[in-house]
Structure 1
């Protein structure tokens, strides 16, 4: 598997967290699980003839198929992708609210999981895709992506926006966020939902979940489950396991096992290669 990760410079880094290129895989990784985060993903398949399949439920019955490019990250639980060995993927992870700030597309209007990118972004994206599939150099792929989204920056006010403020202080109590924002609770919830797809309270749960993921990745076999429960203010271990399972579809111990068994799982925090059988 060929893997490259690129982090844009300012001003684009305010909007895009990272861009990942992955090409090739092995048959012993049947599935790839995308974990929920606070940002939108734009996933681009550079192999025109490759059709990707995503399963939206744990029993693998509800599925969607995608070609070329699609949007994910609007879902509340993990998405399971069928791994394709003949595949070259560019995945753009936007910051919290970054996709809306660049495109002005309300996230609440994206009802379908894995909706085609061209349906949302139009002909400009169609032209970008043609450029990408005719580019062999990985560095140049990143340049094309950056150039496309740099043109979308209409002003520099995103850094001072309400959504940015909430995200930067997401660890604070909700009452504190509302008071410091200077807006009513209803207005804050409405704006944050429009820009991210989630309420501030749900973003807090996602933030806590992602911190847990990073702790498990860092500690591996030294992971102290009770310390995680206490450090992140879960009611008890049962509450922690229940919430973790809601986001991932697997138990925390199964996630830890996946990190220890497959070294490449360290490459991207929000993906699991060859997730355990459910």
Structure 2
């Protein structure tokens, strides 16, 4: 498989973390299973080959689809050769760009054609250049953001502070918000509660340590990432990834972050 990562132009940087391209056009292609792990980010995927990917229930995925927060692991299967282009958004992009309450898409996906009156899917299909496709997607997203941008500075501040490890009570105090008010903002703009967002970020921190093998034993990661103990860490790791840390190291071929091919 071939993988590329492309960073957005300046107008998109507050909405898009990066674009990615993943392709496998090998002549001896065999079916592949990919795990979808919780990462705190929504996204968008375009499939050059229609019907190349199916979800865990063996349903075909739309050619161009938007997905929300993933609070539990799931799987996609590639049944034929493919070239996919993806967008990793910032946490609040569903509300900011598409104008939808983010909790409506938590653990869900939707075809762009059902959400927006656009011919962007046809435009992407009519070119074979990945760079041109990213330019088309960029223009499409900038246009939507200019029309619909509904930024919430309180949520942006809270997510930035949580990623720095600041506690929720301190954030609530600084924003002069009750726990219930902050939770309502989070579900509307991010799709999940602040507590769950914090747990997913902690899982991602632990996962990054595992990727870089920066540990002697799992207990080191558990305490470094503020889990109660090793069993608590492993339990949450399985919840968000569908596997144990040791099996992840043995079986995951992770070219796209949080979307590893699973080696049987």
**TM value normalised by structure 1:** 0.85
1:185-207 per-residue CA deviation (whole Å, 9 max, x = no partner) reads 22111011111111111100011
Name structure 2 gaps, 5 residues minimum.
none
1:268 corresponds to: 256
Pairs within 5 Å for 1:9-24: 9-24=9-24
1:59 corresponds to: none
Q: Is the 8 A contact 2:39 2:70 kept in 1?
A: no
Offset of residue 212 of structure 1: 1.2
Q: Classify the secondary structure of the residue corresponding to 1:212.
A: helix
Offset of residue 51 of structure 1: 4.4
Offset of residue 38 of structure 1: 1.0
2:89 to 94, 113, 121: 94
CA distance in 1, matches of 2:222, 2:107: 34
1:33 corresponds to: 35
**1:173 and 2:167 are equivalent in the alignment:** yes
1:43 corresponds to: 45
CA distance in 2, matches of 1:128, 1:245: 37
Offset of residue 213 of structure 1: 1.3
Pairs within 5 Å for 1:53-92: 53-55=54-56, 62-92=57-87
Q: Is the 8 A contact 2:97 2:149 kept in 1?
A: no
1:143 corresponds to: 135
Offset of residue 21 of structure 1: 1.3
Q: Is the 8 A contact 1:15 1:99 kept in 2?
A: no
**1:192 and 2:186 are equivalent in the alignment:** yes
1:251 corresponds to: 244
2:112 corresponds to: 117
CA distance in 1, matches of 2:23, 2:3: 7
Offset of residue 25 of structure 1: 5.3
Q: Classify the secondary structure of the residue corresponding to 1:64.
A: coil
CA distance in 1, matches of 2:232, 2:106: 29
Number of aligned residues:
259
Q: Is the 8 A contact 2:155 2:185 kept in 1?
A: yes
Return closer, same or farther for 1:52/1:88 CA change in 2, 3 Å cut-off: same
CA distance in 2, matches of 1:252, 1:86: 29
1:225-272 per-residue CA deviation (whole Å, 9 max, x = no partner) reads 11111111111111000000011111111111135xx4xx2x322111
Q: Classify the secondary structure of the residue corresponding to 1:90.
A: strand
CA distance in 1, matches of 2:250, 2:104: 37
CA distance in 2, matches of 1:223, 1:271: 25
**TM value normalised by structure 2:** 0.90
1:164 corresponds to: 156
Q: Classify the secondary structure of the residue corresponding to 1:131.
A: helix
CA distance in 1, matches of 2:111, 2:149: 28
CA distance in 2, matches of 1:114, 1:223: 39
